[in-house]
Structure 1
């Protein structure tokens, strides 16, 4: 039996943050990062809560790639305040950290017969990339290594996809997060757990990214492009929370943990190499993943007279998109020292093999193959 979970209520289109006006007579905890406070973005939520005379507290200590120590601080805040509603505001780091904070708070408060009920969880993304607002994934950093926590209890109850909150996202972050969306969709599409339901979402997302990422990158005030990418990010999250991912993310997790490369950028760098590896173009037999990659080329109107041509077309199109958004093509271009890379290679290979995303990669891999792939991604 296969299950497709569409739990979150999704409020989308510009101005959807107004949904928060429905929150009354509750204790609310806002989890965010310092920039959301400094920029005034958090005020949009605070003003609504004040108008409704809602008691609230703010935990604004979230950092990129949230370490377990920050999660522990958030748990302590929650343990004391015991909110009825938790609102996560920010990018993937804020939403991922909030998931873990809620998860561990419930475990702690309900040890030895406690009866603290899970708070209503509202996720409001301010970047168009992770899709964390609709997924059961939370990635936390421990000792320089990123660990994905996967549990259905992590899925938010409500996701607010308001394009007004992403109009000021910088150009570089727009590119990185947009490529993250594309990677989510493509990995979900070829995952061993893909289905008709997840395929439909993934195909739409790939089309939206190719249609609108460059527009948003070149003109941040193109609200239609922003809105389409914001929707695409959420839809990609719906696809991969049900179909899971693959080695692209397994390798990106450890690369980000070891060398502090932004997650979306790491995914983008890996993507052309992983597609070629999964399609196994050197084999005489066509692979199922190769056929699906080729189908994406058909959807995009790219040359696809054969499976091999279709795979090469989608790889070429991704590289063109990367070049147009000034995204690095290999690890040398993000200034990773070769000796440092080689010193970490064995650890990264082991991390990638043990990552939960590897289990649903369409091509079964080995330690030697992952090592070779990492070396290819580093560049000559």
Structure 2
């Protein structure tokens, strides 16, 4: 007989909040911490989507139901953020005469469907943020997220139509295969972005492996093997980076180093989960984590507006760190309003209370 012991992993929401604040801080202060923060998002997404796909298999959910939930969760807020962006650009056109919307029709179609990555397939760029079809450069990561969701749905699709009962094992195999392919792909092509999932799957894969390490694998040898793999990921990525001739240029192996290190940190800090849940930081960071998707969606195209607002209400002698903190606070307030009206209605968890979000469940089986 199998008994399941459930643990709530609230730290994931807290780390999501930290990562979202880091991205905003990157854009308002120009301190380059946004890249590592996005890698943290990828790791967290890898963890959460793997947990979601496994739960869907256990509950007999079909591939189409799984994708409906993903689309319902991601697309409505994203489309509303595009409308928000267009409205701000219209205001900018009226007030300054600068037309940021004078773009090809195909850019609007790709942005509406989150298929901007197709542009890079034809015309690769050094960095995915250099994709000319992006309206908001911060949205580049969503294209990879979309492909990751589709990929993780493949075992569900197979289980639905082939009546296979070992779908969870298929997910585990798929993760290992794609991580290996991603590492090899980036070993040879780390200087160009083609918009394909293999470029960043290793970072998502870290989150997948952390999920299995903390919740599904039984026996210390299996868990320690993942710890060793992540440690090796840090070391190998560092060696590749140090051996690169592109001084000070961030490569995807730098990203893999950050992702692997963050994965090890999640594993190490899991033992402090109960203490964290009782702390005030759990409420504060969890609340920011709750609105992190909205914050990520809308902050970048409001940077100048928020800067002008804080410059107007704050005295000229305001210390720099107070000015930066004030801008971040305004971005959080705007994102909270956006979350309430345009993201909250589409969440898959029913009623949500600010700061009391249901957190991710780790289930560990014991015979």
With structure 2 as the length reference, what TM-score do the two structures score? Answer: 0.28
Question: Which structure features the higher share of strand residues?
Answer: 1
Higher relative contact order (CA 8 A, sep 6+): 2
With structure 1 as the length reference, what TM-score do the two structures score? Answer: 0.27
